[in-house]
Chain A
């Protein structure tokens, strides 16, 4: 049995890498995905393009504008001269924020009369808008506090010390890179496994395999072992790139990574095999893979926090292997979690993986028989 599986694995490797481009695809694609994700998927908000419509043109108004720029979040690109021009800049999407300081701003301040600053935010991207609003409000209030003090009014009494743990600079990359490792491996393994089996069926070589003394279980192992190996290697490759290229810290014990990956791959390969049993053509396999993959990624907490989802869907995420692996991999990278904290996720993933792979194996056997 061992010999036959070995031969099957060798055949599979020869077939995968016969096409030279597959080598590039298997090893370069994950890294490319990591690079694109690492650079592009940033939710950090800075360089908010801003227009300032200053009707007051006083020392005070310029000081406020200077502070907005000095905060590092706003980049003042335009100084429109009319409300229409401001409107055009917003409509065209050339600026995300427009600040209007009305005439009489400085004279009001000098006389201690309350005044206001108009801040207009493009809400198209609600996430950026929320952050921009918050930054602008904070800068204005801070300036207001100083003016308050200068003319002898008292200021805020509570000294707020807010700190962010685990990722003190709030770099979104630190959060995304470990997540990308998880999703890249999932897609590569799913597509390779599901399509490789269906391909034999589509080209007609499955019949040749069936006349060999290979038993279904051996055939299945021979089909999955190469992809498990590739998946493992890819995890290593992407992790090393993430750590060295993006400077993402690993705070926890590294030995937990291969352990977690192995358990995770169990589910992923199981799902890949399952897709191969329901698809007749590679087109179907590819579409089914995406039909599974997209919701799995979106409902995993990769980008969108699970707590914000409706309750029913939150329950649904319990059968998503990615959900558990993300907690594991982020826990290892960012929080330095050990098995004492991650054991529930590890156990859940192990149970899920064993179940999925057993069910798929049974179906696979039946389809062959």
Chain B
């Protein structure tokens, strides 16, 4: 390996990147955009569910129950309806997600000690929101019930629930650290996966072949500039996460950057490998999407927890490097984990990187077909 030749290739690649400022700008815009979207725009937290109330009782007790619902902050009453069919109309069109139907004689039943029935209908099509809404509904009804039975307000066993690591249960706090891993995977897919296929497609590969550059030198040289861009992206994302979005960073920044470097090396090597195998930019873009972007998004535990997936798929996730990096980055951010707790993940990531780099070297044929 000659440092000089690696430098020459890296320089050539850098000039080429520089000549295409639009792509470069997009490489930096992508993480910022993703962070802003996840930081400000979207959340899995459920609140202000649109609710319609069908109150047949119209008593102070029924109004009090409705008030309990609205004051919880999870439900917003959009309309009071007077016809049972309106429930269908509201839910079918999606103008309401929850319908509360309070029967006649609701307050009378409570006063005379009979058990009235409260009917609640939830739009189950979004099962996640529905599950959480059902939980809130039963908690609110339960608390109300107990209050109505004067003298015995609290149950004999009280569940004391505490939440560790993310006490306010902000989805932002767990999504943003994981997102950094996804950003890296996307950048690797978008940037490095076209580099070699582009040379083949444009015919400039023949020029490269005629130079004395050796395969590992070519691959390392091509990797370096993208590694640099990726690293800036990581640093930028971490800074934005901590200072703009107030995501607590409990562990060591140094460890975070070092391990990001290892992951980046593996991701970029994979991109280059795809680029070598595909030879056409259209094919590499599609392959890299399936091999890097989708798994990083779906199978890494970034948003969907792996323990909820079917067993065969859980086994498959072990082959995805983003899985380990998501565990690492969440551990460092939220739990303040050190290298000792993350040793296995780190080792596997390094192994993956080295292996892919070696395969890329083997697959690259420096000759014209």
Contacts and interface: CB of A to CB of B under 8 A. Distances in A.
Nearest to B47: A308
A144 B171 contact: no
Given A22-B283, A294-B33, A187 B289 contact: yes
Given A32-B290, A284-B22, A290-B186, 13 more contacts: A45-B308, A91-B335, A91-B341, A109-B157, A116-B160, A118-B160, A118-B162, A126-B166, A158-B117, A287-B23, A287-B30, A334-B125, A335-B92
Contact of B157 (A115, A154, A191, A313): A115
B325 to A, nearest CB: 14
Nearest to A301: B126
Contact of B159 (A91, A141, A294): A141
A123 interface: yes
Interface of B: 20, 22-23, 26-27, 29-30, 33-34, 37-38, 40-50, 91-94, 110, 113, 115-132, 134-139, 141-142, 144-146, 148-149, 152, 154-171, 173-174, 186, 190, 194, 198, 201-202, 278, 280-283, 285-287, 289-290, 294-295, 298-299, 303-305, 307-310, 313, 327, 330-331, 334-335, 337, 341
A279 B123 CA distance: 43
A291 B120 contact: no
B151 to A, nearest CB: 9
A126 B164 contact: no
B121 A165 contact: yes
A83 interface: no
A62 to B, nearest CB: 14
B269 to A, nearest CB: 19
Interface in A13-44: 19, 21-22, 25, 29, 32-33, 36-37, 39-44
- Among A25, A115, A196, A310, max chain B CB count under 10 A is at A25
A166 B303 CA distance: 25
A3 interface: no
B336 to A, nearest CB: 9
Contacts of A122: 163-165
Contacts of B148: 157-158
A367 to B, nearest CB: 15
B171 A170 contact: no
A202 B202 contact: yes
A280 B23 CA distance: 10
Contacts, number: 352
- List 10 tightest A-B contacts by C-beta distance, closest first: A164-B124, A134-B135, A123-B166, A167-B124, A304-B42, A43-B128, A144-B157, A123-B163, A144-B155, A156-B145
Interface of A: 19, 21-22, 25, 29, 32-33, 36-37, 39-49, 64, 90-93, 96, 109, 112, 114-131, 133-138, 140-141, 143-145, 147-148, 151, 153-154, 156-168, 170-172, 174-175, 187, 191-192, 195-196, 199, 202-203, 279-284, 286-288, 290-291, 294-295, 298-299, 303-305, 307-310, 313, 327, 330, 334-335, 337, 341
B45 A308 contact: yes
A335 B94 CA distance: 10
Contacts of A291: 26, 29-30, 33
Contact of A115 (B23, B156, B281, B331): B156
Contact of B123 (A127, A165, A192): A165
A144 B127 contact: no
Nearest to A173: B127
Contacts of A46: 308
B122 A164 contact: yes
B310 A39 contact: yes
Given A123-B165, A161-B118, A308-B43, A287 B190 contact: yes
B185 to A, nearest CB: 12
- Among A280, A295, A337, max chain B CB count under 10 A is at A295
Contact of B194 (A154, A171, A282): A282
A238 to B, nearest CB: 15
Contacts of B139: 134, 137
Contacts of B152: 148, 153-154
Contacts of B20: 280-281, 283-284
A131 B125 contact: no
11 contacts: A49-B307, A120-B164, A124-B330, A130-B132, A141-B157, A148-B155, A151-B156, A160-B141, A281-B20, A294-B37, A308-B48
A282 B164 CA distance: 46
B115 A119 contact: no
B186 to A, nearest CB: 7
A312 B304 CA distance: 27
